[in-house]
Amino acid sequence: MKTIYDVAIIGGGPAAYTAAIYTARAALKTVLLTGDIPGGQLLLTSEVENFPGFKDGILGPELMESMKAQAERFGTELMTEFVRGVKPGEPHSLILDKSTLKAHSVIVATGASAIWLNLPNEQRLMGKGITSCATCDGYFFKDKTVVVVGGGDSAMEEALTLTAFASKIYVVHRRDTLRASKIMQDRAIKHPKIEFIWNTEVTDVFGEAMVSGVELTDVMTHEKRKLDCDGLFVAIGHIPASGFLKGVLDLDPKGYIKTTHNVITKVPGIFAAGDVADPHYRQAITAAGDGCRAALEVERYLQNLAEAPARKT
């Protein structure tokens, strides 16, 4: 007889691993479907210094490996499978590449990926001065010169966050006006550490061991010049990994899963945790917190599900 899991968790980052630790430790039959590269966005982070419990910091991949080992310790079954679709029901059906998996509950923790610039040297210098999170990495750029790319609220938030650390912040925008809200524009434009470079794109990034500068290209004249800097913060948006859930769950215009009480979706027994449902914070610790919440909601849901027949009689 084919296995029916108590909970299937989709994802491979802090939200997914935390959820698995909680559900497996609660003696729920747990399967974690990570895709082919478990670890989430923290695999792109060299050092994590703001995750509690590691006074000297910890490498992102090392943190993910520790979470994975902890989940496995409690009996989580790991599968490097991609989920292509979900059919709600009792049990729910998860469509994989060559098979279907069934579970009484599902936690979606697939995360969101930063939109990058696709520069020639971008991937080579990823985590070596290139990042998409000022809250995560701003501390490493104390008294440094950095470049922020973008013109929306996210870019203004990145730039303003960096003013606590960097000595100079250049905001590079390909237009001559910002998309950000008026209040965010005013704060950034008035800040003495922030300088705007208009009608310009970053077309390459330089450096060996670390970022040392960027190539700027004027969108009108196509003239190129080099700007020395110590870091590049890309703030042009994120894409939540929720496409496989269209028509199943409610998504906002950007693709983030709509939830109530942080993790509850419109479909009974399906929960969402971490960046796939969080367009605001995008932190490892908030994702882990969501994973915990989702796991606890799963326990309550399954308990109610088990008691339902008794209540009907």
Number of domains composing the chain:
2
Q: Are residues 132 and 146 in the same domain?
A: yes
pLDDT of residue 87: 97
pLDDT at 312: 42
Same domain as 125, residue 220: yes
pLDDT at 228 over 70: yes
The verdict on 31 and 69 lying in the same domain is yes
As a whole number of Å, the end-to-end CA separation of the chain is 28
Query: Are residues 13 and 75 located together in one domain of the fold?
Result: yes
User: Are 279 and 146 part of one and the same domain?
Assistant: no
pLDDT at 20: 98
- State whether 205 and 159 are in the same domain: yes
Each residue's pLDDT tens digit, 2-51? 899 999 999 999 999 999 999 999 999 999 999 876 656 666 666 788 88
| Cβ atoms 32, 9 nearer than 8 A | yes
Question: Is it the case that residue 245 has pLDDT exceeding 60?
Answer: yes
Instruction: Look at residue 37 in the predicted model and tell me its pLDDT.
Output: 67
Last residue of a domain, one of 191, 208, 234: 234
Indicate which CATH number applies to the domain containing 229: 3.50.50.60
Same domain, 167 and 223: yes
Residues above pLDDT 90, as percent of the chain:
84
Q: Cα-Cα-Cα-Cα dihedral of 254, 161, 63, 75, to 10°?
A: -40
User: Does residue 209 share a domain with residue 175?
Assistant: yes
- Residue 260, classified by CB atoms within 10 Å of its CB into exposed (0-12), middle (13-18) or buried (19+), is exposed
Burial 84-111 (b: 16+ CB within 10 A, else e): eebebeebbbbeeeeeebbbbbbbbbbb
pLDDT value, residue 39: 58
Closest CA to 292 of 6, 19, 64: 19
Q: Domain check: are 129 and 206 in the same one?
A: yes
**pLDDT interval class at 61 (50, 70, 90):** confident
Q: Based on the domain organization, do 94 and 181 belong to the same domain? A: no
- What's the pLDDT score for residue 269? 97
Assign 182 a pLDDT band (cuts: 50, 70, 90). very high
- Residue 280 pLDDT exceeds 90: no
pTM for this structure?
Answer: 0.83
> Is 263's pLDDT higher than 50?
yes
The reported pLDDT for the residue numbered 213 is 98
**C-alpha–C-alpha distance, residues 281 and 66, integer Å:** 23
Domain closes at, from 215, 234, 253: 234
Residue 1, pLDDT > 60, answer no
Q: Give the end of a domain, one of 234, 249, 275.
A: 234
Q: For residue 308, count CB atoms less than 10 angstroms from its CB and return exposed for 0-12, middle for 13-18, buried for 19 or more.
A: exposed
Q: Are both 55 and 122 inside the same structural domain? A: no
**Catalytic residue numbers, as ranges:** 133, 136-137
* The pLDDT of residue 313: 33
Lowest mean pLDDT, pick from 28-32, 39-43, 170-174, 200-204: 39-43
What pLDDT was estimated at residue 123? 92
Query: Which has the higher per-residue pLDDT, 261 or 310?
Result: 261
pLDDT in tens, 111-161: 998 899 999 999 999 989 999 989 889 999 999 999 999 999 989 999 999
Q: Across residues 197-202, what is the average pLDDT?
A: 98
pLDDT in tens, 66-119: 999 999 999 999 999 999 999 999 999 999 999 999 999 999 999 998 899 999
What pLDDT does 31 receive?
A: 98
Report percent pLDDT > 70 for the chain.
Answer: 95
DSSP-derived pairing of the beta strands 224-228 and 130-131: unpaired
The residue range of the domain holding 150 is 116-234
217 and 308 in a single domain? The answer is no
